[in-house]
Amino acid sequence: MASENNEARSEEMRRKIALVTGITGQDGSYLTEFLLEKGYEVHGLIRRSSNFNTQRINHIYIDPHNADKALMKLHYADLSDASSLRRWIDVIKPDEVYNLAAQSHVAVSFEIPDYTADVVATGALRLLEAVRSHTVDSGRTVKYYQAGSSEMFGATPPPQAETTPFHPRSPYAASKSLRIGTPLTTARPTSPRRGENFVTRKITRALGRIKVGLQRKLFLGNLQASRDWGFAGDYVEAMWMMLQQDKADDYVVATEESHTVEEFLEVSFGYLGLNWKDHVEIDKRYFRPSEVDNLKGDASKAKEVLGWKPKVGFEKLVKMMVDEDLALAKREKVLVDAGYMDAQQQP
């Protein structure tokens, strides 16, 4: 009896282990920070590249030789390689798996549709099968989180909730819409860590350069496209909350506000005392082959069941991104002034 009690107590005291795909991305980096603060041991799967692509998590990386403090560990794998996924699931033995990896750029998905579908749709299936096989063989319970996308709703009129039909308008959205029986969330996260070829970060990155004199023009497509943008740091908390529930379910995570690209321009440029119309030009190459006009989520279920709500509003988010990219542009200007960078690289 004493031995059984000791084993139970040991299990309760054991750190939870999370496996995160897409750990080097925007959402993966915020989720890793969140889980580490919760006391988790976090394992991330990364793709092999000749260049390091870990910039978003470098600040929390600790050399694995420092075993007592290195609670984030990185492993090479790929969603296109089923054997690597199964091997790491068996080795790591995670309590929770968060699948955030994807080729997530909508415009790029039109140029590489086969790859997008293989990683986003079939890749998710490979990972889920690895988890399923592991649980069958080991008898363990593993909770699985699958990231969706607001793009799945596509042309469906807002507001979009859990029961709203999908109407994808891109290879990426169609790939995300493949349902494989997993709990799913849809959101439109952005942050200072967003990739520079996504419109929100493209705007604030260019704005910082414009403010310090490194750039004059910003080229964009459809300014009337409307999106429900929220802070990625808020959304990762909702991801974790979902896996703490006894029952797996789908959730829409959103701010329940929709803003156009033009509104984003007005707030961001206005924050630095500039008029966006003096710097923005429309380039037809940035229009999508099939446009998604308006995405606005209905997060009432997440609020009621999870007790989740966003902490960062639209204007605060925009200003947060502008502040970060203005600071980045100022550092960049130091290099330009010292002759280490070419100031003419941007229009």
Q: Is 149 a catalytic residue?
A: yes
Is 145 one of the annotated active-site residues of the chain?
Answer: no
Distance of alpha carbon 100 from alpha carbon 79, whole angstroms? 11
Tokens found for residue 173: 């959205």
Of 40, 98, 172, 235, catalytic: 172
Name the amino acid, one letter, at 97.
V
SS (HEC) of 31-100: HHHHHHHCCCEEEEEECCCCCCCCHHHHHHCCCCCCCCCCCEEEEECCCCCHHHHHHHHHHHCCCEEEEC
CA distance 322 to 325: 5
Q: Minimal CA–CA distance to 210: which of 332, 342, 340?
A: 332
Does residue 83 carry a catalytic annotation?
no
Give the long-range contacts of residues 205-210, CB within 8 A, separation 24 or more: 205/325, 205/328, 205/329, 206/279, 206/346, 207/268, 207/269, 207/272, 207/274, 207/322, 207/325, 207/326, 208/322, 208/325, 208/326, 208/327, 208/328, 208/329, 208/330, 209/329, 209/332, 209/346, 210/274, 210/279
Catalytic residue among 149, 175, 191, 268: 149
The catalytic position among 151, 237, 263, 332 is: 151
Helix (H, G, I), strand (E, B) or coil at 259: strand
Q: Give the residue numbers marked as catalytic.
A: 149, 151, 172
